[in-house]
Amino acid sequence: MTALGLPMTVPAQDLPERVRIHEVGARDGLQNEKSTVPTEVKAEFIHRLADAGLTTIEATSFVHPKWVPQLADAEDLFPKLGGLREVALPVLVPNRRGLDRALVLGARRVAVFASATESFAKANLNRTLDESLAVFDPVVRHAKDAGVHVRGYVSMCFGDPWEGPVPLHQVVRVCTALRDMGCDELSLGDTIGVATPGHVLELLALLNEEGVPTNMLGVHFHDTYGQALANTYAALEHGVTTIDASAGGLGGCPFAKSATGNLATEDLVWMLQGLGIETGVDLGRLTATSVWMAEQLGRPSPSRTVRALSHKDQ
Amino acid sequence: MTALGLPMTVPAQDLPERVRIHEVGARDGLQNEKSTVPTEVKAEFIHRLADAGLTTIEATSFVHPKWVPQLADAEDLFPKLGGLREVALPVLVPNRRGLDRALVLGARRVAVFASATESFAKANLNRTLDESLAVFDPVVRHAKDAGVHVRGYVSMCFGDPWEGPVPLHQVVRVCTALRDMGCDELSLGDTIGVATPGHVLELLALLNEEGVPTNMLGVHFHDTYGQALANTYAALEHGVTTIDASAGGLGGCPFAKSATGNLATEDLVWMLQGLGIETGVDLGRLTATSVWMAEQLGRPSPSRTVRALSHKDQ
């Protein structure tokens, strides 16, 4: 359809020169898949993502297999990634036991998954907000003692399916608590995709005011209402340089077959490449990887860039 | 899925207070539909769009029926819209004959459809760029003599399927030519959806330098690579207040069933409402209209907001 396999590069003013994409497809993207994805396929997926130039690839979760059966193979998968020495491979750990499992295998980066709302803490973790923070506290401290980098996910920062609007001060409270525990990095999640750019900018400004610097903040947008990339652009203008995305747009809300959940890494890379912001990612290789993964899963990628580029190649 | 039928409103700094959405679903959205949409359905669609609060609704095209069979009923459709006195109802006119047909029916706003590239002028109009501008010149002048508002579409402003990148000075040349003919408004089209925000800002700045003020510029983005809303946000920051969109995301490239073409009006309204920018549009009514139209066409809307909100209602 187009002679352009890449966008024209025309920088905009005052944007970061380089962005680190935190690729979540292998963990967040796959965790809700109904049919079990073979461990070998997951390992190949992660190796292909690394070959495409991604430098931070969230690999799996050391959660109890009962809760996330799809990721029950964490102990088998993680050792298969040993060759990826140049790539950061964070893993999710829900509690102390998960952390211990990850540390035994040599994980150097872990992530905890907190909520900004009581309702989601209850639904996802079966705890109150404060109870869930109390669980994370020794996990983060122990990880830091072990010299491991810790990311704190904060979900439902911009809206909650049960509560509706989420007060910003509540998000800030959770973020500062995670920082005080020792988290190196926070990922601000718009889990249901309702945020718009002003909302994003206000939260970022408020966090800065409360002593959380932009360079420890990542953004994790969902495309449920098509807003993810506009929100990303606003976050870039604020100076954010860590952006979560999922290859091929894997994952997200399970309400539709072509679920429009996580921001697709390809759509993000198209914009960043157009803006002249370095990511190290080869868009053609990444797209080929997502097309391959879509074949493994038996359904097309919801990423618009993947669809446009893969059609072009046909 | 969410308790939020609307986004939280959190304005961003230095954006326009109000935006005029130029709704193109009934013309641009439907023109490539293979099965004929009955005139009554088109009329109801436009009336519903007006009920949802849209104030500029491009109604049809007075092109030769041989080229766009779907819009061959322009003479039947246009008189059915007589009751919409508060709504601007521009119509596309390809040449002097089309203009005369529109004027006879009392059209008060017309649009001509130019290209920024030789290849598309050739493919779409079977003329060179200069030949096509020469055809538009008497059309625009005659329309102005008749006291009619004239919009000039400039397609392929950011990339061309045959030529690839499009030099900005060439876009500026076409835009200034249309302005000099007397066009009241120009719509900058990213027909293949490849633009990114820096590219958009550079074209807008260059046009301003060449004496084309922002208040005569509209933007027309396609979501082929998922970039439309990020580009729109950048254009808003530049001060653009006329934004083209298509209800339900109708239209666009015909290469896929769920073609990701025109920016969906609902996705746009979600962002504008979140930013506190007035549009006059009722998002619930608009979504209901797009769901209804999708039923008429027998396939789901590609708009992410329509999918999310219509699922929520189930």
Q: Closest chain B residue to A222 measured between Cα atoms? A: B304
Q: Look at residue B32 in the predicted model and tell me its pLDDT.
A: 86
In a domain, residue B15? The reply is no
In whole angstroms, give the CA distance from residue B92 to residue B114.
11
- Residues contacting residue A156 through CB under 8 Å, at least 6 positions apart: A115, A116, A117, A119, A120, A166, A189, A191, A192
Q: Look at residue A258 in the predicted model and tell me its pLDDT.
A: 44
Answer for the pair A284, A266: CB distance below 8 angstroms, yes or no.
Answer: no
Domain that holds residue B272: 20-313
- Residues in chain B with CB shorter than 8 Å from the CB of A11 are 198
In whole angstroms, give the CA distance from residue A133 to residue B233.
36
**How far away is chain B from the Cα of A4, in angstroms, using its nearest Cα?**
5
CB contact under 8 A, B230 and A226: no
In a domain, residue B124? The reply is yes
In a domain, residue B11? The reply is no
In a domain, residue B167? The reply is yes
The CATH number covering residue B270 comes to 3.20.20.70
Starting at the edge strand found earlier in the chain, the sheet holding A56-57 runs: A56-57, A20-23, A242-245, A217-221, A185-190, A149-155, A109-115, A91-92, A60-61
Which of A192, A196, A226 is the closest to B275 by Cβ?
A: A196
Q: In which band, very low, low, confident or very high, does the pLDDT at A311 lie, cut at 50, 70 and 90?
A: confident
List the beta strands (DSSP E) in chain B: 20-23, 56-57, 60-61, 91-92, 109-115, 149-155, 185-190, 217-221, 242-245
Q: In which band, very low, low, confident or very high, does the pLDDT at A1 lie, cut at 50, 70 and 90?
A: very low
Whose tokens are 């003020």? That residue is: B213
Answer for the pair A150, A140: CB distance below 8 angstroms, yes or no.
Answer: yes
Answer for the pair A46, A74: CB distance below 8 angstroms, yes or no.
Answer: no
- Percent of chain B's residues with pLDDT above 70: 95
Residue A233 has pLDDT above 90, yes or no: yes
In a domain, residue B109? The reply is yes
How many CB pairs lie under 8 A apart between chains A and B?
187
In whole angstroms, give the CA distance from residue A271 to residue B225.
9
- Residues contacting residue A7 through CB under 8 Å, at least 6 positions apart: A270, A271, A273, A274, B159, B194, B195, B196, B199, B225
Residue B152 has pLDDT above 70, yes or no: yes
Nearest Cα residue to A37 out of A45, A131, A1, A5: A45
Average pLDDT over residues B242-267: 80
Sign of the torsion angle spanned by Cα atoms B156, B157, B158, B164: positive
CB contact under 8 A, B7 and A196: yes
Residue A259 has pLDDT above 60, yes or no: no
Q: In which band, very low, low, confident or very high, does the pLDDT at B257 lie, cut at 50, 70 and 90?
A: very low
Q: Look at residue A5 in the predicted model and tell me its pLDDT.
A: 87
Q: In which band, very low, low, confident or very high, does the pLDDT at A3 lie, cut at 50, 70 and 90?
A: low
Q: How many domains does chain A have?
A: 1
Average pLDDT over residues A19-30: 97
Q: Look at residue B312 in the predicted model and tell me its pLDDT.
A: 60
In a domain, residue B230? The reply is yes
Cβ contacts of B205-214, under 8 Å, gap ≥ 24:
B205/B238, B206/B168, B206/B169, B206/B172, B207/B172, B207/B175, B210/B172, B210/B175, B210/B176, B211/B176, B211/B179, B212/B172, B212/B175, B212/B176, B212/B179, B212/B186, B214/B238, B214/B239, B214/B240, B214/B241
Q: Look at residue B258 in the predicted model and tell me its pLDDT.
A: 44
In a domain, residue B5? The reply is no
Which of B162, B202, B229 is the closest to A227 by Cβ?
A: B229
Average pLDDT over residues A260-282: 96
Sign of the torsion angle spanned by Cα atoms A294, A300, A304, A307: positive
pLDDT in tens, B187-208: 999 999 999 999 999 999 999 9
pLDDT in tens, B107-133: 999 999 999 999 999 988 889 999 999
In a domain, residue A102? The reply is yes
Mean pLDDT of chain B: 94
Residue A170 has pLDDT above 50, yes or no: yes
CB contact under 8 A, B198 and A274: yes
Which of A194, A234, A311 is the closest to B7 by Cβ?
A: A194
Q: Kindly report the number of other CB atoms within 10 A of residue A169's CB atom.
A: 9
- Residues in chain B with CB shorter than 8 Å from the CB of A194 are 2, 4, 7-8
Q: Kindly report the number of other CB atoms within 10 A of residue A149's CB atom.
A: 16
Residue B254 has pLDDT above 70, yes or no: no
Q: Look at residue B290 in the predicted model and tell me its pLDDT.
A: 98
Q: In which band, very low, low, confident or very high, does the pLDDT at B305 lie, cut at 50, 70 and 90?
A: very high
| Interface predicted TM-score (ipTM) of this complex, two decimals | 0.95
Q: Look at residue B146 in the predicted model and tell me its pLDDT.
A: 98
Helix residue spans in B10-128 (DSSP H): 39-51, 74-77, 96-104, 118-120
